[in-house]
């Protein structure tokens, strides 16, 4: 008889007349790994929430046939559902005055699987929990795939935006970025200074030394501007040898003039290309 119930109802317990467990199904025993449950009082392991009132075997038997709500007293304190059948004197499955209880994890199934490392073997073959586990696993895999696809899409979008607002030669922002940055600062009511700068005699470098030398000069000038500005500032290549600098929070004329003089002095320093200045 015990083998039959263990196969059909692995979460069942047979109780004696005083509420002690006479036999526990294999899955019920698995979620209480502290030892053999036989001889333990059922109500010491499970807290009855409803509809039972009281903590006696008589109160349990009075709930025969009614849906039960229980909670495990041991961590993680899972909520369970169950049904109890009171056993009479002629019952072939247990002692007179006892009861047969069958439990289910219900909506706590995913948490129970994680907490106790349950597998298909811990459930009856006809238990809908198996299908629910498959659905949960399929949902998890689908959500994971969607998340990864969304991350790739977002990454591609971010990369495309960065390319759209970046000057490929110098790595600075381009003229498209100017409106975006200025709009953001204005919307945030942040003060800023706007400087326009171009490189004198740059065309002569291109004509006399070639475009490779000209590109080198532009990259060196861009690096100098980045080193002279702060993290909150923005340096843009507007086109050709024209640059725009947005200096956040710098609005005093004397401060801006001092910055401009320092930057011009830095840019007037010789730039070495292939061993020549």
Which positions are catalytic? 241
- Token pair, residue 202, equals 């740059």
Give the distance from CA 44 to its chain's centroid. Answer: 38
CA distance 242 to 167: 12
Q: What is the DSSP letter of 87?
A: -
- Phi then psi for residue 49, to 5 deg, are -95, -50
Q: Are 101 and 45 in contact (CB under 8 A)?
A: no
Q: Are 13 and 23 in contact (CB under 8 A)?
A: yes
Cis peptide before 76 (omega within 30 of 0): yes
Burial (0-12, 13-18, 19+ Cβ within 10 Å), 237? buried
List % helix, strand, coil for the chain (3-state, nearest 5): 45, 20, 35
N- to C-terminal Cα distance for the chain?
Answer: 98
CA distance 154 to 249: 32
């Amino acid at each position: 008889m015990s083998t039959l119930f263990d196969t059909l109802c692995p979460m069942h317990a047979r109780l004696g007349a005083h509420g002690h467990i006479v036999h526990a199904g294999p899955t019920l025993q698995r979620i209480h790994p502290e030892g053999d449950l036989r001889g333990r009082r059922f109500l010491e392991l499970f807290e009855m929430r409803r509809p039972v009132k009281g903590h006696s075997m008589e109160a349990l038997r009075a709930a025969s046939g009614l849906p039960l709500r229980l909670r495990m007293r041991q961590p993680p304190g899972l909520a369970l559902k169950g049904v109890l059948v009171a056993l009479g004197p002629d019952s072939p499955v247990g002692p007179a005055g006892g009861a047969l209880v069958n439990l289910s994890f219900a909506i706590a199934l995913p948490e129970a699987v994680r907490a106790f490392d349950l597998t298909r073997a811990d459930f009856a073959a006809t238990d809908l929990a198996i299908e629910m586990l498959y659905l949960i696993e399929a949902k998890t895999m689908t959500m994971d795939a969607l998340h990864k696809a969304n991350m790739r899409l977002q990454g591609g979008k971010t990369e495309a935006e960065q390319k759209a607002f970046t000057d490929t030669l110098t790595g600075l922002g381009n003229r498209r970025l100017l409106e975006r940055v200025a709009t953001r600062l204005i919307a945030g009511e942040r003060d800023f200074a706007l400087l326009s700068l171009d490189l004198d005699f740059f065309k002569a470098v291109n004509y006399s030394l070639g475009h490779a030398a000209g590109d080198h000069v532009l990259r060196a000038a861009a690096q100098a501007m980045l080193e002279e500005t702060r993290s909150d500032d923005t340096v843009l290549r507007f086109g050709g040898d024209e640059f725009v600098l947005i200096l956040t929070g710098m609005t005093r004329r004397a401060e801006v003039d001092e910055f401009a003089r320092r930057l011009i002095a830095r840019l007037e320093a010789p730039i070495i290309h292939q061993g020549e200045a």
